[in-house]
Amino acid sequence: MGSAEWETVEEPELRRFLRGAKPDWRASDLAAAESKLKRVGIDKVEALVQALTVDCRIAGYGQPRVVLNEMCEIEDVVPFSSAAIDAFRVQAA
């Protein structure tokens, strides 16, 4: 048998972050998340981590709101689930 050649594939940092946070996501899930993030102007891990903060000044029925999901709502993008937000925060820590 001949030797197998492996091609090194560079994965964008944001996709690596998402894959690390949600290893059970399929390629289509990752692409959908990246698309949502791009629609709200997030294309770097640093920007995503910053958007995971809670802003108490944003009124959401009197509750503090996650800046990322507020950005999604402003841009008419389906917000991320609380499980996804939690996974992103764990990955960022």
Cα 74 from chain centroid (whole Å): 17
| Distance from C-alpha of 2 to C-alpha of 82, rounded to nearest angstrom | 49
pLDDT in tens, 55-82: 655 555 556 667 899 899 989 999 999 9
Two structure tokens written together for 1 = 């048998």
| Percent of the chain surpassing pLDDT 70 | 84
Q: Is the pTM of this model over 0.75?
A: yes
